[in-house]
């Protein structure tokens, strides 16, 4: 990962994570609103439901050594540790996130089994064949080399272990819809700029990479409809008084991201932004 991109991602999450936790809580990812996106529910519950739905979709019933790639402030890490009574390692580029995640592990009395550190997902500080579940909840979109990312996840996965990824994608490139238009590429470019993303790819492209790397029992799913309401709900939350105050305390990058939320909402509505799931085994 280039030093410039790493710095941009680090600074973005260093600045914004405290505000997100204050307004939304510990889970820094989409919520799940039913397959058609029509279920009304508490926003935190929707985020927990996404974790549970992904696990149910994958068929994962147990895990003892888990890696959370792009762990944020430890939302998924602590949830998975408690659910499976597992040891969990979480990595992030943000020292602020790693520090806060560690504090939360202490508060949950899980410091002995859950560890967080600053590390690059393209060069992970773990031995081969170490984890029986590698979990990536909305971090793949930040990776400048998607193939190397999936290769690293494969490397640290134990034989028979499971890889689970949920990530932002663009629509598939198929004959019926043709290549991305100039307007679509410009829309994506704005999202990349605001959210510190190098680029995104389609779910079929992720599947092809996984196949080339030797993943077995590969499954994919498009849950765009199920998660799309999330962005409108986030936009509503920005109008809350504590969010407004927090925004101006968090700096320009966070303010810019908040005022650009409609980029994601509109991306889902036009079918350009897709929410892809990829599962596989070693």
Give me 148's structure tokens.
């190397």
Give percent above pLDDT 90 in the chain: 82
Angle, in degrees to the nearest 10, between helices 241-250 and 3-23: 150
Average pLDDT (235-240) is 71
CA distance 169 to 20: 23
* Containing structural domain, residue 61: 3-281
- Is residue 10 over pLDDT 60? yes
Question: Is the CB of residue 120 less than 8 Å from the CB of residue 126?
Answer: no
pLDDT for 249: 65
Could you say which DSSP state residue 140 is in?
G
* Total domains present in the chain: 1
- Is residue 248 over pLDDT 70? no
CA distance 73 to 18: 9
Q: pTM for the whole thing?
A: 0.94
pLDDT for 235: 74
The confidence band for 234, taking pLDDT boundaries of 50, 70 and 90, is confident
Q: Round the average pLDDT of the chain to a whole number and report it.
A: 93
- Is residue 246 over pLDDT 70? no
CA distance 92 to 114: 14
- Is residue 92 over pLDDT 70? yes
pLDDT tens digits, 141-165: 999 999 999 999 999 999 999 999 9
The confidence band for 185, taking pLDDT boundaries of 50, 70 and 90, is very high
Look up the CATH number of the domain holding residue 110: 3.40.50.150
Residue 70 phi/psi, 5-degree rounding, is: 80, 60
Alpha helices in 25-180 (DSSP H): 43-58, 75-84, 95-107, 146-156
pLDDT for 3: 85
Average pLDDT (233-251) is 66
Average pLDDT (179-196) is 95
pLDDT for 22: 86
- Is residue 242 over pLDDT 70? no
- Is residue 208 over pLDDT 90? yes
The confidence band for 244, taking pLDDT boundaries of 50, 70 and 90, is low
Most confident residue range from 38-42, 79-83, 237-241, 248-252: 79-83
Q: Give the residue from 188, 206, 186 showing the smallest Cα distance to 197.
A: 188
């Amino acid at each position: 990962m280039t030093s410039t991109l790493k710095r941009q991602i680090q600074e973005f999450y260093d600045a914004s994570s405290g505000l997100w936790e204050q307004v939304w809580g510990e889970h820094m990812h989409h919520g799940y609103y039913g397959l058609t996106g029509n279920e009304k529910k508490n926003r935190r519950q929707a985020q927990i439901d996404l974790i549970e739905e992904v696990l149910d979709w994958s068929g994962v019933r147990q895990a003892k050594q888990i890696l959370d790639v792009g762990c944020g402030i430890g939302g998924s890490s602590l949830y998975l540790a408690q659910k499976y009574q597992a040891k969990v390692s979480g990595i992030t580029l943000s020292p602020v996130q790693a520090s806060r995640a560690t504090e939360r592990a202490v508060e949950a009395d899980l410091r002995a089994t859950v560890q967080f550190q600053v590390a690059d997902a393209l060069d992970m500080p773990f031995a081969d064949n170490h984890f029986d579940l590698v979990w990536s909840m909305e971090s793949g979109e930040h990776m400048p080399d998607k193939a190397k990312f999936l290769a690293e996840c494969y490397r640290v996965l134990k034989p028979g272990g499971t890889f689970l990824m949920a990530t932002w994608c663009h629509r598939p490139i198929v004959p019926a819809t043709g290549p991305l238009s100039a307007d679509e590429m410009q829309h994506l470019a704005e999202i990349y700029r605001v959210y510190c993303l190098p680029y995104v790819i389609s779910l079929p492209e992720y599947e092809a990479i996984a196949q080339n790397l030797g993943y077995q029992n590969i499954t994919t799913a498009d849950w765009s409809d199920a998660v799309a309401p999330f962005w409108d709900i986030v936009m509503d939350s920005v109008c809350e008084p504590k969010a407004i105050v927090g925004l101006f305390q968090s700096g320009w990058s966070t303010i810019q991201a908040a005022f650009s939320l409609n980029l994601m909402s509109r991306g889902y509505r036009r079918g350009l932004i897709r929410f892809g799931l990829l599962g596989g085994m070693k």
